[in-house]
């Protein structure tokens, strides 16, 4: 009579030595949520204020934010600023393409902003 001994049972070692503090997870979750909200705001045309407003150096198309927080564009030196409906197209983190003339616009640097004042 032979009995088969099951000797290869997986050992139960607890691997809980390196768990992240739970509040880190909460924070990451919060940032993800914030990013989602911002994305939704952008879809609605709301300017989320996470970059400077653009101005095309070539044709003078300007970005502006209305009292309602909506992002609009209009040509420079216009008497009655009215949204053209055009939006700058983001090329990379600091470059945008002008929707009116196709010129590449760069976000103003800190120095340029100070020079403007």
Site of interaction with Zn ion (CB under 5 A): 56, 58-59, 61, 98, 100-101, 103
- Give me the least distance between CB of 105 and Zn ion, in Å please: 7
Find the farthest-apart pair of alpha carbons in the chain and give their distance in angstroms, rounded. 103
Place of tokens 């393409």: 97
- Give me the least distance between CB of 73 and Zn ion, in Å please: 10
Q: Which is closer to Zn ion, CB of 71 or CB of 98?
A: 98
Q: Which is closer to Zn ion, CB of 47 or CB of 61?
A: 61
- Give me the least distance between CB of 114 and Zn ion, in Å please: 24
Q: Which is closer to Zn ion, CB of 41 or CB of 100?
A: 100
Place of tokens 């150096």: 57
- Give me the least distance between CB of 60 and Zn ion, in Å please: 7
Beta bridge partners of 63: 73
Distance CA 26, CA 14 (A): 24
Distance CA 73, CA 53 (A): 10
Place of tokens 């503090």: 21
């Amino acid at each position: 009579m032979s009995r088969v001994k099951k000797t290869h049972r997986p050992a139960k070692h607890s691997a809980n030595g390196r768990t992240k503090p739970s509040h880190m997870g909460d924070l990451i979750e919060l940032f993800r949520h914030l990013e989602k909200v911002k994305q939704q705001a952008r879809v609605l045309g709301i300017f989320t204020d996470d970059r400077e407003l653009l101005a095309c150096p070539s044709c003078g198309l300007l970005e502006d934010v209305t009292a309602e927080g909506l992002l609009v564009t209009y040509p420079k030196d216009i008497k009655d600023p009215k949204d053209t409906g055009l939006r700058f197209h983001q090329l990379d983190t600091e470059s945008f393409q002008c929707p009116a003339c196709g010129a590449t616009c760069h976000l103003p640097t800190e120095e340029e902003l100070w020079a403007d004042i």
